[in-house]
Each structure stands twice: as structure tokens, then as C-alpha cells.
């Protein structure tokens, strides 16, 4: 019984939606690009970036200044960023919540290894009184956001390696009193691969992976034939790449390859992401750091 795919794709790791009302992928929004930018550059500067540097860097992707400032204000209202001046310059620093988002993202986004069936599963079992339905909704939303599937009503499942981030999120949201977390092995009955196909919406995931490949495979081809490294172009391509990718490991939490359809498109998408990361990250960071340090 797959969890509601539309619910899952409308909340990314920063609480910012990344699908339209029909559940189809869309271009990253400025606020998503800003979170990626902070993840790449702010932590070497005490979690802070000047507004001028954010405006300049997103301008390389065609984002206009009013859209940047509006998106920063939204992230401030969501307690991801906090206004702070340094040496007379206006800027924003990551809030504690924003730092937690990035730490969680580092663990998830750059993990190359997929889970294996032998590593087992993480079960989240919860019971919430009817009088606290808002907590039940929040609990379901958080588990969906973390990449859990639904094995049965009130029983959610994920690869075992997610136990620490799951416990951290439930604790930080004040939900740990409503849930129990267990490590588990599948002993019987039935075909586990077939069950995984019901617990997660693999068709919906495949559509998102296909869109990612369509968008970024031409970028790989372009860089494969590039004679020289253009750091400015590398920055723009890498920021888009990373923003698009960081959505996906929250929907596919490293599910075991053995339990996925043959020639699973998610593996090809991961190969593309890591190949482009190897090619683009260094020149992208060099360009961005020059602007930030300005």
C-alpha cells in the first residue's frame, strides 16, 4: 500500500514544495536554489551570506533580484534564515533549524551506497489519540518526507540506515512520544520486491528520475566535449543539478537494488548526478567562493 505520492513530493527537505498541483516535476523555485546555495557556501562563512552575493549568484541562473529578495523573506518566515548584518553588509544566517536541514541533507543527498535486504528495515509504529489529529497529520507528513513507505495502517517502513535521522526529526518535532522505532527483517510471507512496489510509488519515482535525466543528460554531454573549464558556467549548471537532485533521495531512500524493477532508472540518474558532481563541483565552488568572498 504505497503512501500518497502527491503528499510526498509536495514537501522537500526544506519544507518547500517541488511539484505542481498534479504531482509533476517543475523547475526549481528561487527559494530552493537559495537553500542549495547556503548548503554549498555559507557554512565556510559561519552560516552567513550577504544579500548582495545571493542576488549576484542567482543572477547567473536568470533569477531577478525581486524574486531573490521575496524568496529570502519566505525562508526567514519559515525560520530557515535569520537576518544579520556583518561589517555593515546586510545578509542572512542559517537558523538552527536551517543548519539541521543541511546536516540531514548532507547525509542523504551525497550517499552513493544503496541499502541491501541483509541490512534490514526500520519500522515506525505510531498511535495518536483522535483528540490530537493534528499530530497524526504531522507525523505522517514527516515520515513521508523522510522517505518511508506504508506497510499497513499505522506501520511505516524504510531502510534501516534512516534510523538516526528519523529519530532526530521526530524528537525535534515533539513527535517521539507518539511513535516507536524498530529494526526488522522480512521473514515471511510473499514476494518482498512486489511488496516494495506497493509500499512505495515506484512509477511516480521513475517519472521524476526520467525528468531528471532528460534535464541533465545534455549537460553531461556538453561538458564531456568542453575543451576548457568555464567556472561561471560550471557554477550555474551545478547549482541547478544539485537543487534538482536533492529532492529525489527523500522519495527514494536508497531502496535495495535487488528489490527494484530491472534496470531501475534511479540508478542511472544517480550515476549521472555523481558523474556531473565529479566534473562540476570544484570549478563551481571556485566561482561561487570568489563572489561570496567578494
- 173: domain CATH number is 3.30.70
Does 63 map to a domain? no
Residues 255 and 207 in one domain: yes
Q: Among 211, 253, 174, which residue's Cα sits nearest to residue 3?
A: 253
Residues 177 and 247 in one domain: no
pLDDT tens digits, 33-74? 999 999 999 998 999 999 999 999 999 999 999 999 999 999
Residues 126 and 184 in one domain: yes
Specify the range with the lowest mean pLDDT, choosing from 121-125, 128-132, 214-218. 128-132
Does 182 map to a domain? yes
Residues 120 and 175 in one domain: yes
Does 91 map to a domain? no
Query: Whole domain around residue 267: which residue ranges?
Result: 199-293
Which of 168, 197, 226 terminates a domain? The answer is 197
Residues 134 and 161 in one domain: yes
Give the residue-averaged pLDDT of 175-201: 92
- Band (pLDDT 50/70/90 cuts) for residue 199 is very high
Please state the domain count of the chain: 2
Give the residue-averaged pLDDT of 212-233: 93
**Residue 9: its pLDDT value, please?**
36
**Residue 26: its pLDDT value, please?**
56
More confident residue, 8 or 157: 157
Does 129 map to a domain? yes
**Residue 130: its pLDDT value, please?**
83
Angle at 205 between CA 200 and CA 206, to 5 degrees: 125
Which of 161, 176, 197 terminates a domain? The answer is 197
The pTM is what?
0.86
Alpha-carbon distance of 104 to 198, in angstroms, equals: 27
Residues 174 and 206 in one domain: no
Give the alpha-carbon dihedral of 259, 262, 266, 268, to 10 degrees. 140
Does 48 map to a domain? no
**Residue 101: its pLDDT value, please?**
84
Residues 212 and 231 in one domain: yes
Does 161 map to a domain? yes
Residues 218 and 282 in one domain: yes
- Rounded percentage of the chain residues whose pLDDT exceeds 90: 71
Phi and psi at 110, nearest 5°, equal -100, 15
pLDDT(3) > 60: no
More confident residue, 243 or 17: 243
Does 20 map to a domain? no
Give the residue-averaged pLDDT of 199-222: 95
Residues 232 and 281 in one domain: yes
Instruction: Print burial letters for 154-179: b (CB count within 10 Å at least 16), e (below 16).
Output: ebbbbbbbbbebbeebbeeeebeebb
Give the residue-averaged pLDDT of 90-98: 94
Task: Please give the C-alpha separations between residue 253 and each of 148, 162, 211, in angstroms, as whole numbers.
Answer: 8, 8, 18
**Residue 221: its pLDDT value, please?**
94
Residues 289 and 204 in one domain: yes
pLDDT(97) > 70: yes
Mean pLDDT for all residues in the chain: 88
Does 78 map to a domain? no
pLDDT(270) > 50: yes
Specify the range with the lowest mean pLDDT, choosing from 23-27, 57-61, 110-114, 265-269. 23-27
pLDDT(10) > 50: no
Which of 180, 197, 214 terminates a domain? The answer is 197
pLDDT tens digits, 145-165? 899 999 998 899 999 999 998
Residues 214 and 272 in one domain: yes
- Does a cis peptide bond (omega within 30 degrees of 0) precede residue 189? yes
Give the residue-averaged pLDDT of 71-86: 95
Amino acid at each position: 500500500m504505497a503512501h500518497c505520492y502527491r503528499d510526498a513530493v509536495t514537501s522537500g527537505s526544506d519544507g518547500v514544495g517541488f511539484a505542481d498541483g498534479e504531482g509533476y516535476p517543475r523547475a526549481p523555485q528561487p527559494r530552493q536554489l537559495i537553500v542549495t546555495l547556503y548548503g554549498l557556501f555559507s557554512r565556510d562563512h559561519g552560516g552567513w551570506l550577504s544579500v548582495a552575493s545571493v542576488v549576484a549568484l542567482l543572477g547567473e541562473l536568470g533569477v531577478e533580484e525581486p524574486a531573490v529578495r521575496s524568496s529570502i523573506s519566505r525562508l526567514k518566515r519559515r525560520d530557515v534564515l535569520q537576518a544579520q548584518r556583518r561589517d555593515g553588509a546586510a545578509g542572512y544566517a542559517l537558523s538552527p533549524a536551517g543548519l539541521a536541514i543541511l546536516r540531514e541533507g548532507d547525509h542523504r543527498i551525497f550517499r552513493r551506497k544503496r541499502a541491501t535486504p541483509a541490512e534490514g528495515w526500520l519500522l515506525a509504529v505510531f498511535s495518536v489519540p483522535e483528540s490530537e489529529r493534528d499530530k497524526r497529520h504531522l507525523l505522517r507528513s514527516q515520515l513521508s518526507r523522510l522517505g518511508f513507505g506504508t506497510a499497513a495502517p499505522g506501520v511505516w517502513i524504510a531502510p534501516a540506515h534512516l534510523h538516526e535521522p528519523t529519530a532526530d526529526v521526530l524528537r525535534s518535532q515533539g513527535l517521539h512520544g507518539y511513535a516507536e522505532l524498530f529494526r526488522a527483517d522480512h521473514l515471511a510471507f510473499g514476494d518482498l520486491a512486489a511488496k516494495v512496489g506497493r509500499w512505495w510509488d515506484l512509477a511516480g519515482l521513475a517519472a521524476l528520475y526520467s525528468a531528471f535525466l532528460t534535464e541533465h543528460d545534455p549537460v553531461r554531454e556538453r561538458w564531456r566535449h568542453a575543451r576548457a573549464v568555464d567556472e561561471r558556467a560550471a557554477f550555474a549548471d551545478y547549482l541547478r543539478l544539485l537543487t534538482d537532485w536533492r529532492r529525489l533521495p527523500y522519495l527514494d531512500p536508497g531502496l535495495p537494488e535487488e528489490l527494484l524493477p530491472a534496470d531501475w532508472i534511479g540508478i542511472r540518474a544517480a550515476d549521472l548526478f555523481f558523474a556531473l558532481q565529479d566534473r562540476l563541483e570544484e570549478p563551481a565552488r571556485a566561482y561561487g567562493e570568489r563572489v561570496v568572498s567578494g
